[in-house]
Amino acid sequence: MNVVQAVAAGIKALPGVGKAFAATQAAWRFFANERVTLPELIEPLREVGRQGCKESSSAHVLAVHDWSKLDYDGHKSKTDLTQLSQELDRGYEQMTVLLVDADNGATLVPMGMELLSAAGRHTTEAEVVQPRIAHLDQVLPWMEASRFWGLDKQCVHVIDREADSLKHLRAWHAAGHFFLVRADDRRVRFRGRRQLLSQIVEILNGEGAFQPTGQVSIRGRKGQQSVAEAEVVLDGPAWERTPEGKKRRVPGPALRLRFAIAQVRDAEGELLAEWYLLTNVFDVSAVQIGLWYYWRWRIESFHKLLKSAGISLLPATNN
């Protein structure tokens, strides 16, 4: 009957309690109609996203990308389960591009979704099933698609540590897209020397570069977030796998990025979380960059809402 607007987009309330069954039946007929394609189903949500962008005071909007496993282990009736991480790991995989307000972190709406099954990728971008491809190879097509969503903000694509791939960062930047990714402890060029990101953090900490930004909550624990930043250059070779599964070096142009470090410490100074962030967005503060990545966790809440805490996509028991 109701949804929390900051969590999910949809009908605020049905026309009336007496019409609830009629509304439900109409919705079922619509969703069950094979002539209604996934691109058509996503369009009303995208209209909500466009409206949310207009109401935001930020010049940017965040498009958060993430993948989530749907585990139906034991369901004998589901014949289109696919292999995921290893041979015995079978299920579906859901991919979501979630729009988040860059001003206050409010969840706006999913702008695109995919479901990986044995048949391939069922996606809101196509009327027919698409071939299976690697996670990061899915991102650039979604970035390109976002140009046609009619958003009146600069879209910044936010992705977790999986996206720390120099080959893909170069491709996204070359295509003119803005990104914010969590990085591993990689080597970069800083002040003329090649150093690990962790070594740069030590230098910045010694220089007193970390500035407090405010209180946040991490896994139920409150702490003080502090942020520091530096300009770095990624000028080494990228790596990719050949069709035979071997790794090979891929040279490419030097990529100038901002390196932002976000730390969260409790009242006693214990480090609760630390994120190494790389972005090609240079027109906002490091404080804002830290907040943007903190708001990436909205998509974790969205997946929880879908699977167990609201829509209950996954059953309580497998039978």
Alpha-carbon distance 309 to 299, whole Å?
13
Give 242: exposed, middle or buried? Use CB within 10 Å, 0-12, 13-18, 19+.
Answer: exposed
Q: How far apart are the first and last CA of the chain?
A: 28
**The model's pTM:** 0.87
pLDDT for 318 equals 45
Residue range 37-159+284-319 forms a domain whose CATH class is: alpha beta
**One-letter amino acid identity for 204?**
L
Query: Who contacts 128 (Cβ-Cβ below 8 Å, separation ≥6)?
Result: none
How distant is the alpha carbon of residue 183 from its chain centre?
Answer: 14
Spell out the alpha helix ranges (H) of the chain.
20-31, 38-55, 135-146, 166-174, 197-206, 286-294, 298-304
The answer to whether the beta carbons of residues 166 and 228 sit under 8 Å apart is no
- Give me the residue label for tokens 């010049």: 59
Reading the block at residue 19, the tokens are 């019409």
**One-letter amino acid identity for 190?**
F
Domain ranges for the chain: 37-159+284-319, 184-282
The whole-number mean pLDDT for each consecutive block of 10 residues of the chain, a chain of 319 residues, reads 46 53 76 85 93 95 95 78 81 94 95 95 95 95 97 97 95 98 96 96 96 85 93 93 84 96 91 95 95 93 82 61
- Give me the residue label for tokens 């502090």: 226
| Pairing mode, strands 221-234 and 238-241 | unpaired
